[in-house]
């Protein structure tokens, strides 16, 4: 009997880091890609709960984040330019959604590994 390939879920799989990591790992592992560009809204708790209930994996790699300035090639705003509305959205995506994704992965898998990536492009541009 052949052993199944290790299953890896990669969030932010279509972004700068996520795409490179996904392409590399797909050579050896079964990779499940999750990204807003693929129609996955990780800020929607209902979606996250349903998706992770249906999709089991050995590893979760989180690469998703709200970094609008990177994709647009813009200079990052200073703290004085950030509105409370945009700061709230930043927290919803980069903190609350991350917590939700990690929680549902842990809830629906008996064991596994969670890796959270970040990059200085989110901080310095």
Q: What is the pLDDT of residues 16-65, one digit of tens each?
A: 889 999 999 999 999 999 999 999 999 999 999 999 999 999 999 999 98
pTM for this model (two decimals) = 0.85
Residue 45 inside a domain? The answer is yes
CATH code of the domain in which 99 resides = 3.40.50.720
Q: Is residue 125 part of a domain?
A: no
Tell me the per-residue pLDDT of 53-98, one tens digit each, with 9 for 90 and over.
999 999 999 999 887 644 555 666 677 888 899 889 889 999 999 9
Domain count, the chain: 1
Domain of 100, in residue numbers: 7-120
Kindly state whether residue 51 falls inside one of the protein's structural domains. Answer: yes
Contacts of residue 100, Cβ cutoff 8 Å, sequence gap at least 6:
42, 45, 48
The C-alpha atoms of residue 105 and residue 102 are separated, in whole angstroms, by 5
């Amino acid at each position: 009997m052949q052993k199944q390939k290790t299953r890896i879920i990669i969030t932010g799989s279509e972004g700068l880091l996520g795409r490179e990591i996904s392409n590399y790992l797909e050579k050896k592992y079964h990779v499940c890609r999750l990204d807003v560009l693929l129609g996955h809204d990780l800020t929607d708790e209902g979606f996250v709960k349903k998706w992770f209930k249906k999709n089991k994996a050995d590893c979760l790699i989180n690469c998703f984040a709200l970094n609008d300035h990177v994709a647009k090639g813009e200079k990052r705003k200073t703290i004085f330019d950030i509105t409370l509305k945009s700061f709230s959205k930043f927290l919803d995506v980069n903190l609350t959604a991350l917590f939700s994704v990690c929680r549902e992965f842990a809830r629906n898998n008996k064991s596994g590994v969670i890796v959270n990536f970040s990059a200085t492009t989110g901080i310095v541009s």
